Amino acid sequence: MNLIFVGPPGAGKGTIAAKIAAELSIPHISTGDIFRQNIREQTELGKKVKQILDSGELVPDELTIDLVSDRLSHSDAQAGWILDGFPRTETQAEALDEFARVDEVVFFRIDDEEVVKRLGGRRVHPASGRTYHIEFDPPKEPGFDDETGEPLIRREDDEPDAIRHRLEVYRKETAPVVDYYQRDGRLVEVDAAQPIEGVFEDLRAIVEEVQNR
């Protein structure tokens, strides 16, 4: 099953994608996680994109499209995948339709006020991408990853100025992606303002519907 999660930063796409992907035994492919891993490992790609990520701008389409096209060709992606954070522009959505089949696009609807609360309290385990929230989804021990015990960090782009800018970029570049999929009937919407369990249950129902087609 090939699924896309789209919605503003902080809507909870990554949190839910990790859970659904584990249930379905398919990869959760987050372009943001791939870029951050390259930055940590100081690869050529990482050096190219570090400034862009820190500022909340988008990485150029061509580079991002090549990265995803390559990732979807790996053997672990042949039985399905969840794409989280891609496509983020209409150009990326059109390109994806050239090299992959998309079964369903899930739009995470949420307002800006809630997004700001979520991103402000987000903490991540850099090596795995595991994500927590200091209030809404806290780790067992504050400041430390449940599985490895390693320290959690706050992302550079989760500072207030970068959050504001990312929301602007979302409205300008990514909102058209939602329209793109709506036009041909591939879009389904979830109320992403619910607690995590509620969003997860809604996603499970969507997955079941797609499986029964």
Applying CB under 6 A, which residues contact ligand ADP?
Answer: 9-15, 30-32, 35, 52-53, 56-59, 64, 85-86, 88, 92, 118, 121-122, 131-133, 136-137, 157, 166, 194-196, 199
Closest to ligand ADP by CB, 143 vs 211, is 143
With respect to ligand ADP, which residue has the nearer C-beta, 27 or 32? 32
Cα–Cα nearest to 80, from 129, 36, 20: 20
> Tokens 């995590």 identify what position?
196
Rounded to a whole number of angstroms, the distance between the first and last alpha carbons of the chain is 11
Residue at 14: amino acid letter: G
The residues carrying an active-site annotation are 13, 88, 122, 155, 166
- Min. distance of Cβ 96 from ligand ADP in angstroms? 10
Our CB check for ligand ADP shows the closer of 26 and 170 to be 170
- What is the smallest separation between the CB atom of 75 and ligand ADP, expressed in angstroms? 23
Closest to ligand ADP by CB, 135 or 211: 135
Residue 63 Cβ, how far from ligand ADP at the closest point, in Å? 8
Distance of closest approach, residue 67 Cβ to ligand ADP, in angstroms: 9
Collapse the DSSP code of 106 into the 3-class scheme (helix H, G, I; strand E, B; otherwise coil) and give the result: strand
Strand partners for 146: none
